[in-house]
Amino acid sequence: QTVVGLRYDYLLRYFENREKSVDHNHVVDAILSHNFNSRFKLDVFYSFALAQEPQQLGQGAGGAGILFRAAGTNFRNIAGFDLTSQLAESWSAVTGFRNNIFRFDELAFAQSLDRVEYLPSVNLRYQVAPPSSIGLFYQYGITDFDGPGANVGFVRDVNSHFIAATIDHDFAANLTGSLRGGIQYNDFAEFAGVRDRDGVAPYVDGQLTYGFLPGSSLTVGVRHQLTATDVGILGTVGGGLFSDPIRGSSATSGRISLSHIFTPKLVGSINGLYQAGTFIGGG
């Protein structure tokens, strides 16, 4: 009825020829899953990282997050819950909430990337047949860039509405897929003399998982949505105007993950991520 999980990872990395020769990375993950009865289930999760490595800082609402080493001891905190409710024989709903916090030591990263994200959501689903369900997903996002120097991050504040149709399908016992497809409406902070960048953009999040052997799987996914960027916000990049600062990036990312059990005591995995984006603003 109740499952509790806790994981702690520590990484020490030594650099032979660097002023700060040692990096210490800490990642803590905790989960709580509780079935109240056959109709209601609550999943609570928490993830904390104090690190330099980008793969440990992970991602927030903005897709892939950072893909590079960021100098300094950087902080990422993600917490939230999902409440699954069986409303009727074929109808269910998942009500969720996410809170993401990012903090960077280096001033240039802090000004561009320090932020707090609030993401309440609801997903109403209908079971068409045992292997298939369709639904409607809505998420409201509040992104508050609160880094040092209010003249840098304040125009990146944005409220977003995600509206998407969803489909989940089991093609076979070892092949499953899910897809969210719809729109994301972005309402950026408004200031006199700064170009309005509000608008509608595509929102896509899909994933396909194939279990080719017991305990071994291949997962591929794609996502398109507004992401945060570390690129300087003033409109001088590419000859842009100061009245049209960089607000973020409209980015598409592809991901792939392969995990294989060679023997009961030897497991290997490899992960890849590719992201291509277009700046919103900045010329």
Are 198 and 187 in contact by the 8 Å Cβ rule? The answer is yes
Mean pLDDT of 170-196: 93
Average pLDDT of span 194-221: 94
Q: Does residue 234 contact residue 214 with C-beta atoms inside 8 Å?
A: no
Flag whether pLDDT at 150 surpasses 60: no
For residue 148, what pLDDT is reported? 82
User: In terms of pLDDT, which residue wins out, 53 or 262?
Assistant: 262
pLDDT reading at 155 higher than 90: no
pLDDT on residue 59 = 58
CA–CA gap between residue 166 and residue 87 (Å, rounded): 18
Interval 96-120 mean pLDDT = 89
Measured in whole angstroms, the distance separating CA 116 from the mean position of its chain's CA atoms is 13
Q: What is the pLDDT of residue 56?
A: 63
pLDDT of residue 53: 66
Residues 56-84: tens digit of each pLDDT: 676 554 444 555 666 678 889 999 999 99
| Token reading at 256 | 């792939």
Confidence of residue 265 (pLDDT cuts 50, 70, 90): very high
Confidence of residue 212 (pLDDT cuts 50, 70, 90): very high
Given a cut of 60, whether residue 204 has pLDDT beyond it is yes
Assess whether pLDDT exceeds 90 at residue 118: yes
| Distance between start and end Cα atoms, the chain | 55
| Pick from 133-137, 199-203, 244-248: least confident | 244-248
- Tell me which residue has tokens 């639904």: 135
Q: Is the pLDDT of residue 237 over 50?
A: no
pLDDT at 84: 96
Nearest Cα neighbor of 166 from 177, 150, 152, 154 is: 177
Sign of CA dihedral 271, 68, 80, 133: negative
Exposure string for 98-134, b = 16+ CB within 10 A, e = fewer: bbbbbbbeeeebbbbbbbbbbbebebbbebeeeeebe
Question: Position 134: which residue type?
Answer: I
Q: What angle do CA 71, 111, 12 make, to 5 degrees?
A: 20
